[in-house]
Amino acid sequence: MQTDCPFSVVSLRQQVYDYLRGQMNRGDLRPGSAINLGEMSARFGISRTPLREALLQLEAEGFVTIYPRRGIVVNPLSESDIRHAYEVIGALEASVILNEQGKISSAETGQMRELNELMRQSLDRDDFAEFYDHNVAFHNVYLDLSDNRGLVRTVMTLKQRLYDFPRRKGFVKEWETTSTGEHERFIGLLESGDPKAASGYMRDVHWSFDVQKPWIRRYYSELEREGALNR
């Protein structure tokens, strides 16, 4: 039987994982939808083993839930999920800033300032995809200083869960403008020689769910209309 299989035999589990993540990112697999393991296995002409392995990884990262004898469901993103993600990201990024403060020099703050300016230029062009990439790069300037790769991987997975589920084309421009102002304040605290204040500001303002809640609710309004964001 001829099959339409997009995978090679090399790193099949990873390819299946990347394929499913891509489906979620594009919105082809929406929150709340079911994944049929048997149908996928037959469609792609591959065994269920790499499918199960990829789905177990997605479950560990919070993207899906596997119900024994009932199937696999793409997880909706609730407001509680968003709150918890902000709490974890804020705490972990703040810890990196404190732990790696001796490595944050004028080179790093200069790089962050440059990226923040690129973010502003992206906003002027209403280019959210470019803004998002520069925003991730901004935070990675100090995250990349950490040798705790598990910590960094957790932060990146949570950000993907927040913003790639699926990746929305629109954005709340006022929020992103405010975000660049927070970045500027953060850089200023680092340059003034107060990494403790900079760490606290990143945790208690930039990644504070309560501070950002009005913007968060506007950003996820599309999901609310679809019934995927449970309040």
Q: How many CB atoms lie within 10 A of CB 138?
A: 23
Residue-wise pLDDT for 6-31, tens only, equals 655 457 889 999 999 999 988 899 88
Question: Could you tell me which of 90, 123, 86, 111 has the C-alpha nearest to residue 187?
Answer: 111
Provide the CA 87 distance to its chain's centre, in angstroms: 14
> Residue 6 phi/psi, 5° resolution?
-90, 5
Instruction: Give the mean model confidence (pLDDT) for residues 46-63.
Output: 92
Pick the residue with more confidence: 169 or 132?
A: 132
How far apart CA 123 and CA 104 sit, in angstroms, is 27
How far apart CA 187 and CA 138 sit, in angstroms, is 11
Reported pTM: 0.86
* The three-state (H, E, C) secondary structure of 75-101, written as one string: CCCCHHHHHHHHHHHHHHHHHHHHHCH
Mind listing the domains of the chain with CATH numbers?
A: 12-74 (1.10.10.10), 79-226 (1.20.120.530)
- Structure token digits, residue 156: 């990146």
**What's the whole-number average pLDDT of the chain?**
90
Instruction: State which of 23-27, 36-40, 103-107, 170-174 shows the largest mean pLDDT.
Output: 103-107
